[in-house]
Structure 1
Amino acid sequence: MSTGERVPGQFTLVLHSHLPWLVNHGRWPVGEEWLYQSWAHCYLPLYAMLRRLAADGYTDQLSLGITPVLAAQLDDPAATSAMHEWLADWQLRAMEAAIDDDADRRVSGHREYRAAAAALADFEQHWRHGGSPQIRALAATGVLELLGGPLAHPFQPLAHPRLRELSLNEGLADAHLRWGTQPSGIWAPECAYAPGMEDLYSAAGVSHFMVDGPTLHGDTALGRPVAGTDVVAFGRDLTVSYRVWSPKSGYPGHGAYRDFHTYDHQSGFKPFRVTGKNVPSQAKKPYDPALVDAVIDAHVDDFVDSVRRRLFDEAERLGRPALVVAAFDTELYGHWWHEGPIWLERVLRRLPEAGITVGTLATARRDGYVGEPVELAESSWGSGKDWRVWEGPQVQHLVQLNSEVTDTALDCLDLLAGEHPGPARDLTADQILREALLTIQSDWPFMVSKDTAAGYAQDRAYKHAHATREICGAARSGHHDAAARLARGWRAADNLFGALDARRLPGTDGSGR
């Protein structure tokens, strides 16, 4: 790898990989299909890219967050089996399109067949035993830093303190169980922060976490220790991040790229290009890969140039080398932006050639890209950079639901702990806790606030709430056999987080502390 003029400072790419638990909860248009599309078009090419970079000797290329709920799905035997079938179905649909009477559909079919065949080969070689084996292998190469997170992706500031503490500790333990290492950094769900959470992080062994740029008032050129602790908050640099993707613009909107929203409903494929910002679906032109390569290179050059300028500008402003952190949802690359994985690999290979040091959040902390301590205000990376998406007027029914379910679950768990003290696990209590955590996932209010499959989100929240109430109702009435039977049934429907143990819930000694 050749290098150019050295640029002061470090660039860090952070990716946040997350989907809510989807297995056994519908298939189309929202449900398992969402998992399999992301797996095929994002996770497969991303991990293949990381394997290539590792083989070529690259280290510390990005900080990769993988939430426990997504990790559970990538390891779930039912999900991996269904994913294999989904890939085979993709190939079959491509074969049908390839012999269609329509010429454009035939071209699309041939292209999709080649893509499906490559995905099947990749999956069969690397994924048949789940995601954890290759995540462990990639972590061992040093090509990435793994970031963890709370167990079921709750919006932490609005979660009961007992559930907040348990979810964080159990999420980190889940990562250690799957990957053989416990992450020292996390991507907090929705980058949500409330004063005092740094103490929780410190107690759990978390040394650094992500916030959005406005949380640090836009001054993201250094990480900042929070409120007298050694826990460092790193902020997303919006000037650079928004070059790729912002609420209004970004590279994926270029007319040559494949359009995410427009389907050929006969084949189920997306054979059209963006064409133009205001072009209706029926007027979209056929996707042409020959038009894309030069556009990707131009966007790579633009991004690298933006990082260079930002590092020089921030170093001049600070009087010392600075840090630039670009952060995105992992699913942007390949799922939402078809060409994203190609762009990403070219960027990571081009940055050192342009004299830019690439590192992780962990290396930034280690190498001193840390400034003066700071007091942080309540924040998130959602609309308004506050909590409105998760507690605004449009989701007050879910806020109330979460409060009621949390109280019901904690009261029942305390009762069960008092009635059945001792060293044995109580699988009924474990399932109550599991359902309560699934109820308060941050995904449900987000999907309602953004009107993205809002009905599905509400159904999921109320289903898990019903499960919690049903099991608790039987247990509180003294019908312990019935409660155990209900718990087994609900566990069979959502077979995740098998290590979750209600005895580790803070204050679970019958006192409710």
Structure 2
Amino acid sequence: MSEQPAPPPVPGMFTLVLHTHLPWLAHHGRWPVGEEWLYQSWAAAYLPLMRVLRTLAAEGRGHLVTLGMTPVVTAQLDDPYCLEGMSHWVANWQLRAREATTRLACTADEGPYAAPEAMRAFGIREYDEAGRALEEMAVEWRHGGSPLLRQLIDAETIELLGGPLSHPFQPLLNPRLREFALREGLADAHQRFAHTPRGIWAPECAYAPGMENGYAAAGVTHFMVDGPSLRGDTALGRPVADSDVIAFGRDLQVSYRVWSPKSGYPGHAAYRDFHTYDHVTGLKPARVTGRSVPSQDKAPYDAERASHTVDQHVADFVDVVRNRLAAESDRLGRPAHVIAAFDTELFGHWWHEGPIWLERVLRALPAAGVRVGTLADAAADGFVGAPVELPPSSWGSGKDWQVWSGEQVSDFVQLNTEVVDVALACVDKALDQNAAVGAPTPRDRVADQILREALLTVSSDWPFMVSKDTAADYARYRAHLHAHATREIADALAAGRREQAERLADGWNRADGLFGALDARRLPR
């Protein structure tokens, strides 16, 4: 039987953008929110994604993905405490999988997925997967995530997107701290990867008019916005206002095919159910089965059934991309650019089969005549249209700022403003006091920690978690904890109690010691 002829190429280019971000979780609780969130995402999403990208790179495939890595995530993937904690978590995962293989019976309120024969088969697969992860942590990840990412950057497998320290909602941030956070974030990436990103994933895709000037001054040439920011016309990047900084927009028609607030591939009946746990082992041995099926009636997970469904969804996505490129190119009268953008954690953590889908789709698209490239490729190859004036916007609900500035989180806006004002004033005073005439200003670890805690206070995660009612109590606790740390150190310093301020700064640094190269002397004056 002869092979099917390859489909004819379609005009234009497709770009997959992944945004990798979690807040700083180390030393701040374990369960139900805290380090467990980091380790689950690491095991289910980051390990498989790295595996996929390294596999494709070994095949000589390049320019595959535009990968956003926030400084907060890379700090945790490199942190010795987190690396040890992750290895312990994976070992515990393997022990729990071993326990699943010994299941003798299930109770009446457990579903078919908990039947002994189903759990034994599931436990064997999980045990093997955990063993693979343990070996990867011991061998490939032993020095952290940065060496692995640098290999992919150097091989041009990925384009790296950076971002500001702590992932703040930039439009609401004091301009001095906004500039500092961005420049330090780019410097952090350079320190880890020997590569300074030219593109960034603006936290929450948030934009306010004029921010492009700060981007240009920091050396940023392109950034991501959501489709509605470009009024849905995302087929070309657009220089913003009078600058040369290009805004690339997410194509919602294509992106929502995979995942949207209401639908997408991960909800298919064959895929592993995210919400159904086996309460003895903590594993997830059920498949979705049906959107309205209660947990106790869920069927056992079937890996072969899921794999077959992945193939169907790969074929569907390839068709969607081909049709979208053809239609947009016809509309423009020139080759178009289509961008699908997602949170990295969707692939593996939320959608167990996501990494498998990624690997297959990144092979299937070129085979189907679709050129795959990065945002940098798009800018270099002229997938750029006329300048545009962008409105205040984000990728949150309503595509405006309401998730981070609405009535439900108005107290965060006030808290952030007050804490940042205190931090900036205190740091300015400390650096002025330490400056000697005609001599360099020495580094001040107290001032550094004040800025570090202020940046953790203004993380965009905390108001998001409250607005979306996902661990809202934890989010409020974290925001006020870092606000307290900022004020406590600053008050001691302002009162002339330098030794106490140093003790406090050192104490808080034991929990919040990320961004070790952060230097308050670089704060814009």
Instruction: Give the TM-score category using the shorter length.
Output: over 0.9
Say whether residues 1:445 and 2:463 are aligned partners. yes
The residue number in structure 1 matching 2:26 is 23
Deviations 1:263-299 (CA, angstroms, capped at 9, x unpaired): 1111100011111111122221111112112111110
The residue number in structure 1 matching 2:484 is 466
Deviations 1:18-38 (CA, angstroms, capped at 9, x unpaired): 000000011111100111111
The residue number in structure 1 matching 2:72 is 69
The residue number in structure 2 matching 1:50 is 53
Say whether residues 1:355 and 2:358 are aligned partners. no
Q: Distance in 1 between matches of 2:382 and 2:429?
A: 49
Say whether residues 1:212 and 2:212 are aligned partners. no
Aligned residue runs from structure 1 range 465-484, under 5 A: 465-484=483-502
Identity %: 66
Aligned residue runs from structure 1 range 310-459, under 5 A: 310-421=324-435, 422-459=440-477
The residue number in structure 2 matching 1:291 is 305
Q: Distance in 2 between matches of 1:425 and 1:355?
A: 55
Q: Distance in 2 between matches of 1:282 and 1:215?
A: 43
Would the aligned equivalents of 2:9 and 2:370 in 1 still touch at CA under 8 Å? yes
Q: For 1:436, what is the secondary structure of its paired residue?
A: helix
Which TM-score applies when normalising by structure 1? 0.98
Q: Residue 306 of structure 1 is aligned with which of 287, 308, 320? A: 320
The residue number in structure 2 matching 1:139 is 153
Q: Distance in 2 between matches of 1:190 and 1:410?
A: 24
Would the aligned equivalents of 2:453 and 2:512 in 1 still touch at CA under 8 Å? no
Would the aligned equivalents of 1:3 and 1:352 in 2 still touch at CA under 8 Å? no
The residue number in structure 2 matching 1:6 is 9
Q: For 2:135, what is the secondary structure of its paired residue?
A: helix
Say whether residues 1:39 and 2:42 are aligned partners. yes
Q: For 1:209, what is the secondary structure of its paired residue?
A: strand
Would the aligned equivalents of 1:170 and 1:500 in 2 still touch at CA under 8 Å? yes
Of 20-29 and 289-298, the range deviating more from structure 2? 289-298
Gaps of 5+ in 2: 106-115
Q: Distance in 2 between matches of 1:388 and 1:62?
A: 30
Would the aligned equivalents of 2:446 and 2:505 in 1 still touch at CA under 8 Å? yes
Say whether residues 1:260 and 2:274 are aligned partners. yes
Q: For 1:303, what is the secondary structure of its paired residue?
A: helix
Of 391-400 and 437-446, the range deviating more from structure 2? 391-400
Q: Distance in 1 between matches of 2:366 and 2:427?
A: 54
Say whether residues 1:281 and 2:299 are aligned partners. no
The residue number in structure 2 matching 1:510 is none
Q: Distance in 1 between matches of 2:238 and 2:493?
A: 47
Q: Distance in 2 between matches of 1:355 and 1:4?
A: 6
Aligned residue runs from structure 1 range 127-276, under 5 A: 127-276=141-290
Q: For 2:338, what is the secondary structure of its paired residue?
A: strand
Q: Distance in 2 between matches of 1:294 and 1:16?
A: 27
Q: Residue 93 of structure 1 is aligned with which of 91, 96, 100? A: 96
Of 333-342 and 112-121, the range deviating more from structure 2? 112-121
Q: Which amino acid aligns with 1:494?
A: D
Q: Distance in 2 between matches of 1:479 and 1:42?
A: 46
Q: Which amino acid aligns with 1:132?
A: S
Would the aligned equivalents of 2:431 and 2:441 in 1 still touch at CA under 8 Å? no
Q: Distance in 2 between matches of 1:417 and 1:118?
A: 50
Deviation at 1:397, TM superposition (A): 1.2
Deviation at 1:107, TM superposition (A): 2.2
Deviations 1:349-391 (CA, angstroms, capped at 9, x unpaired): 0001100000000000000000000000100000000000000
Q: Which amino acid aligns with 1:237?
A: D
Q: Which amino acid aligns with 2:31?
A: W
Of 279-288 and 254-263, the range deviating more from structure 2? 279-288
Q: For 1:87, what is the secondary structure of its paired residue?
A: helix
Aligned CA-pair RMSD = 0.9
Q: Distance in 1 between matches of 2:104 and 2:53?
A: 40
Would the aligned equivalents of 1:409 and 1:468 in 2 still touch at CA under 8 Å? yes
Gaps of 5+ in 1: 508-513
Deviation at 1:3, TM superposition (A): 5.2
Deviations 1:72-116 (CA, angstroms, capped at 9, x unpaired): 000000100111111111111111111121313222211210111
Deviations 1:113-150 (CA, angstroms, capped at 9, x unpaired): 01111111222221111001111111111111000000
The residue number in structure 1 matching 2:503 is 485
Of 488-497 and 106-115, the range deviating more from structure 2? 106-115
Q: Distance in 2 between matches of 1:6 and 1:74?
A: 39
Of 213-222 and 135-144, the range deviating more from structure 2? 135-144
Q: Distance in 2 between matches of 1:73 and 1:13?
A: 24
Which TM-score applies when normalising by structure 2? 0.95
The residue number in structure 1 matching 2:516 is 498
Of 292-301 and 207-216, the range deviating more from structure 2? 292-301
Q: Distance in 1 between matches of 2:189 and 2:47?
A: 20
Of 207-216 and 413-422, the range deviating more from structure 2? 413-422
Of 274-283 and 473-482, the range deviating more from structure 2? 274-283
Deviations 1:163-217 (CA, angstroms, capped at 9, x unpaired): 0000000000000000000000000000000000000000000000000000000
Runs of 4+ in 1 over 4 A off after TM superposition: none
The residue number in structure 1 matching 2:111 is none
Of 419-428 and 213-222, the range deviating more from structure 2? 419-428
Q: Which amino acid aligns with 1:361?
A: L
Q: For 1:271, what is the secondary structure of its paired residue?
A: coil
Deviation at 1:260, TM superposition (A): 0.4
Q: Distance in 2 between matches of 1:99 and 1:276?
A: 28
Q: Distance in 2 between matches of 1:97 and 1:301?
A: 35
Would the aligned equivalents of 2:419 and 2:487 in 1 still touch at CA under 8 Å? yes
Q: Which amino acid aligns with 2:511?
A: A
Q: Distance in 1 between matches of 2:163 and 2:424?
A: 22
